[in-house]
A and B are shown apart, each in its own frame.
Chain A
């Protein structure tokens, strides 16, 4: 696990507020099934800066998953604007979206979503495969990412041979390996026991401390409380904008 010195922390606090990496402007998303329309997002404005640790909290059906998909460029808005690291996502075609997901976004899913037939290292390498990184370099970076989550010794193991917590750590290593602009975690502790949950949240704390931008989506208040900023979503809207959970 990354060791963070007080000097690091001090330097982070001294740093000026980071530049804006995510900007949502009147974001709306409407799903249509036949004649039935469902408004999942009803106009969300949101700005996330570099280095921020943001939790988006809400009950199921509140629209937080839709928001996660929009932020992760897995889905596009019906109306409004989403600017990610200066790029207007609505203008990108499918190949460009794939490139954005590859380079700018690191996903951590509730189900881990590791490929069972691949070793931990090979799973971590996967985004680099699509980034066309040379095999030797891929291997080196994958091992470095695994070391970052304290799993370098398990690099040859298949997901089935790892505990849930370890699997989620492999998934975090996979999310980090491309050095993405934001780390997007969707209920990352939803399938974990309390020890593993603490382990994962500890890693997020460390990552936040070294300046990673993290967006965490959860329905658990105590998980959200670890973040710097908490947004509550209900019925497709933010109810209390930018409440400070810590400090």
Chain B
């Protein structure tokens, strides 16, 4: 039999029982669709996390107060301490102590209400240095950023995120306007270019003031900074910059052992690793479920192929009488099982892709459809058909022609 003959006769056999064939491959459809979704969700999350992190820059160190890890590896006090100060940030900015850093931006953030005329809007107001724009890889849409003079003079100048400007003014061309925070008047000097959102938080709803203004006039109760961002000269120099920063801060804080540090220096890549490992575990779990569905689907194929062999015993006998050797009969049933697998795989991929297109809108997640995963899914489905078709096909091939012909 030529491959064409095999496909012809198998397809004919499947078509003669459309409903039964569909039910048979339901398990495979469900399995493959969930594989497509699982892989897509995993890739989507990974891409989202990477994009989030790339938006911060791959050459960025993040210093937060508190110790991140105790001896058992548990996170504790991350970001909650008050051990970082503006003085630490200024020291880190020294080219002598940390030669591999090219920018340092402390962030002292407080949620405050900004008023303009009758409207007011509560957002995170961050006091930072002039390096912030470069360190956080942001751009200005209008106007200019805060200057060193502003910082020195505790000037009441403010830079708004594009969403914040939109909320207050209904426009982003607002440079030169005045807003009020805590009864103090601030002049808008610049508006940031939109950076989209990172997960659920908008990167465009914020306000920037000089850190001196923040610490002296708006947030005088606390002098601690929540985060210090350090931009390394290049991503190759990231670990050098990290070591220099750590040594300097330990020295400033009078701590002798790195194990008892009251701050944490994180690298973007370590955040990626942490995020990815969670999703990897999730992916393993979901893949396990998909594999179970595929196993059940495969057993379904085997079951129905055995039924088919029994039903068609007479046909098998006739084919043998006409000169079919055992291999031809085996190949015929094997092809049929593989076509069932292929159909299940193709339908599963179709449904998976359909859901991958429909779900993100409903759930707000990113699902990435990977061509490789789709092709691999179909190959796996055909493989399942083949593996679970072997036994029924072998049974058909072994039937004695005379017994098969006599069957009714």
Interface 1/0 per residue, B385-408 and A, CB below 8 Å? 000000000000000111001000
Check if A74 sits within 8 Å of B1, measured CB to CB.
no
Check if A74 sits within 8 Å of B321, measured CB to CB.
yes
Check if B323 sits within 8 Å of A127, measured CB to CB.
yes
Given contacts A74-B401, A74-B402, A117-B12, are A126 and B319 in contact (CB under 8 A)?
A: yes
- B2 in contact (CB, < 8 A): yes
For the complex, what is the distance from the CA of A208 to the CA of B5, rounded to whole Å? Answer: 33
- A94 in contact (CB, < 8 A): yes
Which chain A residue lies CB-closest to B397? A94
For the complex, what is the distance from the CA of A131 to the CA of B324, rounded to whole Å? Answer: 9
Dominant SS at the B interface?
A: helix
For the complex, what is the distance from the CA of A72 to the CA of B406, rounded to whole Å? Answer: 14
Check if A174 sits within 8 Å of B315, measured CB to CB.
no
- B161 in contact (CB, < 8 A): no
Interface 1/0 per residue, B326-338 and A, CB below 8 Å? 1110000000000
- The 8 Å CB contact of B314, one of A75, A113, A117, A126, is A113
Residues of chain A contacted by B327 (CB below 8 angstroms): 95
Give chain B's interface residue range (CB within 8 Å of chain A): 20 to 34
Which chain A residue lies CB-closest to B401? A74
For the complex, what is the distance from the CA of A98 to the CA of B324, rounded to whole Å? Answer: 6
Check if B318 sits within 8 Å of A94, measured CB to CB.
no
For the complex, what is the distance from the CA of A127 to the CA of B314, rounded to whole Å? Answer: 16
**Which residues between 92 and 143 of chain A lie within 8 Å of chain B, taking CB atoms?**
94-95, 98-99, 101-103, 107, 109, 113, 115, 117-118, 126-127, 129-132, 135
**Which residues between 325 and 355 of chain B lie within 8 Å of chain A, taking CB atoms?**
325-328
- A69 in contact (CB, < 8 A): yes
Residues of chain A contacted by B401 (CB below 8 angstroms): 74-75, 101
Residues of chain A contacted by B405 (CB below 8 angstroms): 74, 109, 113
- B16 in contact (CB, < 8 A): yes
Residues of chain A contacted by B231 (CB below 8 angstroms): none
Residues of chain A contacted by B1 (CB below 8 angstroms): 129-130, 132
For the complex, what is the distance from the CA of A198 to the CA of B41, rounded to whole Å? Answer: 72
Check if B325 sits within 8 Å of A107, measured CB to CB.
no
For the complex, what is the distance from the CA of A95 to the CA of B405, rounded to whole Å? Answer: 18
For the complex, what is the distance from the CA of A130 to the CA of B9, rounded to whole Å? Answer: 13
Check if A98 sits within 8 Å of B320, measured CB to CB.
yes
Residues of chain B contacted by A118 (CB below 8 angstroms): 12
For the complex, what is the distance from the CA of A146 to the CA of B315, rounded to whole Å? Answer: 22
For the complex, what is the distance from the CA of A94 to the CA of B329, rounded to whole Å? Answer: 13
- B4 in contact (CB, < 8 A): yes
Given contacts A113-B314, A130-B1, are A72 and B321 in contact (CB under 8 A)?
A: yes
Interface 1/0 per residue, B108-136 and A, CB below 8 Å? 00000000000000000000000000000
Residues of chain B contacted by A126 (CB below 8 angstroms): 319, 322
Which chain B residue lies CB-closest to A133? B2
For the complex, what is the distance from the CA of A101 to the CA of B166, rounded to whole Å? Answer: 86
For the complex, what is the distance from the CA of A127 to the CA of B322, rounded to whole Å? Answer: 5
**Which residues between 192 and 245 of chain A lie within 8 Å of chain B, taking CB atoms?**
none
Check if A95 sits within 8 Å of B322, measured CB to CB.
no
Residues of chain B contacted by A174 (CB below 8 angstroms): 322
Name which of A75, A98, A135 has the most chain B CB atoms within 10 A of its CB.
Answer: A98
Residues of chain A contacted by B13 (CB below 8 angstroms): 117
**Which residues between 346 and 375 of chain B lie within 8 Å of chain A, taking CB atoms?**
none
Given contacts A74-B402, A115-B315, are A135 and B2 in contact (CB under 8 A)?
A: yes
A60 CB, min distance to chain B CBs, angstroms: 14
For the complex, what is the distance from the CA of A130 to the CA of B12, rounded to whole Å? Answer: 18
For the complex, what is the distance from the CA of A235 to the CA of B320, rounded to whole Å? Answer: 28
Residues of chain B contacted by A135 (CB below 8 angstroms): 2, 4
For the complex, what is the distance from the CA of A200 to the CA of B13, rounded to whole Å? Answer: 31
Check if A130 sits within 8 Å of B2, measured CB to CB.
no
For the complex, what is the distance from the CA of A135 to the CA of B1, rounded to whole Å? Answer: 10
Check if B402 sits within 8 Å of A129, measured CB to CB.
no
Which chain A residue lies CB-closest to B315? A115
For the complex, what is the distance from the CA of A157 to the CA of B321, rounded to whole Å? Answer: 23
Which chain A residue lies CB-closest to B329? A98
Name which of A118, A126, A129, A174 has the most chain B CB atoms within 10 A of its CB.
Answer: A129
Residues of chain A contacted by B326 (CB below 8 angstroms): 94-95, 98
Name which of A118, A130, A131 has the most chain B CB atoms within 10 A of its CB.
Answer: A130
B327 CB, min distance to chain A CBs, angstroms: 8
Given contacts A113-B314, A129-B1, A129-B5, are A101 and B16 in contact (CB under 8 A)?
A: no
Residues of chain A contacted by B325 (CB below 8 angstroms): 94-95, 98-99, 130
For the complex, what is the distance from the CA of A72 to the CA of B4, rounded to whole Å? Answer: 29
For the complex, what is the distance from the CA of A126 to the CA of B13, rounded to whole Å? Answer: 15
3 smallest CB-CB distances across A and B, nearest first, come from A102-B323, A98-B325, A130-B323
Which B residues contact A (CB, under 8 angstroms)? 1-2, 4-5, 12-13, 16, 314-315, 318-328, 400-402, 405
Q: List 25 A-B contacts (CB under 8 A).
A: A69-B402, A72-B321, A74-B401, A74-B402, A74-B405, A75-B400, A95-B325, A95-B327, A98-B320, A98-B324, A102-B322, A102-B323, A107-B322, A109-B405, A115-B315, A115-B318, A117-B16, A129-B1, A130-B325, A130-B328, A131-B323, A132-B2, A135-B2, A135-B4, A174-B322
Which A residues contact B (CB, under 8 angstroms)? 69, 72, 74-75, 94-95, 98-99, 101-103, 107, 109, 113, 115, 117-118, 126-127, 129-132, 135, 174, 178
A95-B327, A174-B322 are known contacts; what are 16 more A-B pairs with Cβ within 8 Å?
A: A69-B402, A74-B320, A74-B321, A74-B401, A74-B402, A75-B402, A98-B320, A103-B323, A109-B405, A115-B318, A117-B13, A126-B319, A127-B323, A130-B319, A130-B328, A135-B2
